Chains A and B, each alone.
Chain A
């Protein structure tokens, strides 16, 4: 078992690692802004690509939702679903498209159970991917706010009150 596979099975650790790296990126924000997003991406991108590919088989969509999807890259789902699982999952939990592969969303759900911080985020609706961001740095996009760029009309609609109460409001 490679290092990547070993780490992938530690979702609780990974979500904390995410928190730490997010804090670090935020801390580096002034520097990155000064250097410029494009130039910063030039040295961040190879590092990001290398680590995320080994860990998550990252597809470089440029808008990372890993922590909200059980630390599993949703773009490794052959249908690229960002709100899975689809109805085609096999009874053994494998993928409809690639019969020998565990369904990405079956794994995501399992791992989300072990994630205390971001596990519940599975329930939030992920907007459609912005294909303009493909192959750009999700880390830089995070700082620039680019990864939050939803389609303009993807505005807030009133929540279903029951769903909101039950799933979206954090317990205090």
Chain B
């Protein structure tokens, strides 16, 4: 990588050593009880290098990403705090970045955010004061120039390893690699991509990235996840924004008896990991196993990703 803004974070350490990284999403509880968060983190801790705390993904509200980070950084877990532009304006966002750094978050994933209409409260007001690229740039300004966006000085700038999303699976296809370049210029050091179910498409995208030299500028982690059933696959590709699942995958689940579909979904996930691992420019995977966290152990085992490097 060209520039190094060393955080003390475990994720940055692993990626900068050239090791294959594994991250996973935590299920944000619909509960005021922190126990679920603690239990899931304890279960996943030996399996992954960092957890993502999602920020109202699919525009559904759950426990907020910053509060999950607050619970888990206290226990020393490495967190990736997701920060979306949908619900907060620039004033709230910059305050949250400082707070996150103060409690020991070293990684922020900067997202535009799914639109409010994707969720169960589509009547909500959308904010989008920033887009993801402006968000990246703003945090980079805070980190590298030590000021707020207003120019006001920070006493102690937040040290952050900045991440962004990437979705090579949706149009405008030829723009996607260029947009990645734009995110790198804005400040992204690592990427966690949208769910990959279309490896050939990812391959041609990574080829474009290599042609542009982007693979040397950013750590690219590919998003993967087990499909629970044919029905779940159909739901995801029609209702979850930005998810592309090719017909072959749905067909494969369709041909599997209902009771074995979950197993087949997991197998597809492991196969995809095996394939993407071989692609030059891919530095890790990001597992999004919505409501199927119990499968993560088998997935990382079967993909031969264990044991994970020790945390210091």
Contact = CB atoms under 8 A, between A and B. Distances in A.
B217 interface: yes
- Residue from A86, A96, A97, A127 whose CB has the most chain B CB atoms within 10 Å: A86
Contacts of B132: 83, 86
Contact of B133 (A91, A106, A125, A160): A125
7 contacts: A81-B112, A87-B170, A89-B167, A105-B172, A152-B150, A153-B141, A154-B137
Given A88-B114, A152-B150, A81 B128 contact: yes
Contacts of A110: 172
Nearest to A78: B115
Contacts of A80: 128, 131
B280 interface: no
Interface in B172-229: 172, 174-175, 178-179, 181-182, 184-186, 194, 212-213, 216-217
B46 interface: no
- Residue from B3, B144, B184, B241 whose CB has the most chain A CB atoms within 10 Å: B241
Contact of A160 (B2, B86, B112, B172): B2
B115 A79 contact: yes
A81 B183 CA distance: 14
A86 B175 CA distance: 11
Contacts of A106: 171-172
Given A87-B165, A122-B178, A162-B217, A96 B242 contact: yes
Interface in A102-133: 103, 105-106, 109-110, 122-123, 125-128, 131
B6 interface: no
Nearest to B135: A128
B242 A85 contact: no
A88 B149 contact: no
A65 B175 CA distance: 18
A168 to B, nearest CB: 8
A123 B141 contact: no
Interface string B131-165: 11110011011001101111110000000000001
B171 A103 contact: yes
Given A93-B172, A166-B181, A167-B181, A82 B134 contact: yes
Contacts, number: 142
Contact of A128 (B117, B130, B147, B182): B130
A109 B179 CA distance: 11
B118 interface: yes
B266 interface: no
B141 A155 contact: yes
A3 interface: no
A86 B112 contact: yes
A39 interface: no
B181 A128 contact: no
A157 interface: yes
Contacts of B165: 87
Nearest to B166: A87
A96 B128 contact: no
Nearest to B240: A88
